[in-house]
Amino acid sequence: MSTWRIWAYALSLAVLWLGLRFALGHYFAYNYTGAQPKGVLLNLVFLLSLIVITLYKTYSAEPQVRSYFDDFKLSLRAGVAYGVAIGLAIGVYYSSSNDMSIKRAADYKLLEEALDTPEEVNAITSTNEQLKDLTKEEIQQSYIERVNTMTSVKTVVAAGISGMMLSSLIFSLIVPWIFRTVMLKELQ
């Protein structure tokens, strides 16, 4: 399968994921913890589908002799294309939805509840060596900085792309082997 066709499939699946992710976000009232696992599962299913479609279209076009390494490279090319496309889709979704602002507000509220009495502050400082010499305000500021970092769109996009690249590598190792042992016999 040609590279431009792989990219066309990858971009199409990323756009489909984006539409489904907006629907999931709306259904879960933009609750990050409720909708995010479903978005990840959709990503993995779409990645797996793209790799299988790429291998299937390659072998069904004409009979050919290919090695496992050729199939691995083709699968990895499809996975990387999908990883880049989905990285753009993740960036579009999280920059235009308010999932992260809702999560950030919930984390701020949990922080305030965790530090609202001196006993709780003492309990936290006694169990954590790094926070031992800090005041309540300094502890709050360090946690606010951590929450801001973890709910940043840049962090979410970087984690999404990294996860998709790792998944692409793993799927590219496994799927061609399964394809060659199961489906290739059906095509011949």
Looking at the predicted structure, is the pLDDT value of residue 185 above 80?
no
Tell me the domain boundaries of the chain.
3-99+152-187
**For the residues 169-185, what does the mean pLDDT come to?**
88
Distance CA(34)–CA(24), nearest Å, equals 9
DSSP calls for 9-41:
HHHHHHHHHHHHHHHHHHHTTT-HHHHHHHHHH
**Among 7-16, 63-72, 86-95, 119-128, the least confident range:** 119-128
Distance CA(27)–CA(50), nearest Å, equals 26
What is the value of pTM for the model shown?
Answer: 0.83
Distance CA(147)–CA(46), nearest Å, equals 30
The residue among 54, 51, 67 whose CA lies nearest residue 180 is 67
Distance CA(4)–CA(18), nearest Å, equals 21
Positive or negative torsion for Cα 174, 178, 181, 184: negative
pLDDT tens figures, 77-127:
999 999 999 999 999 998 988 888 888 888 888 888 877 777 877 777 778
Structural contact between residues 155 and 149, judged by C-beta atoms closer than 8 angstroms: yes
Place of tokens 């709050």: 140
Place of tokens 């990858």: 10
pLDDT band (50, 70, 90) for residue 16: very high
pLDDT at residue number 165: 95
pLDDT at residue number 186: 61
Looking at the predicted structure, is the pLDDT value of residue 28 above 90?
no
**For the residues 15-24, what does the mean pLDDT come to?**
93
The residue among 181, 177, 173, 184 whose CA lies nearest residue 60 is 184
* Residue 31 phi, psi dihedral angles, 5° rounding: -85, 110
pLDDT at residue number 36: 86
The residue among 99, 134, 95, 140 whose CA lies nearest residue 116 is 140
Distance CA(41)–CA(154), nearest Å, equals 21
pLDDT at residue number 184: 67
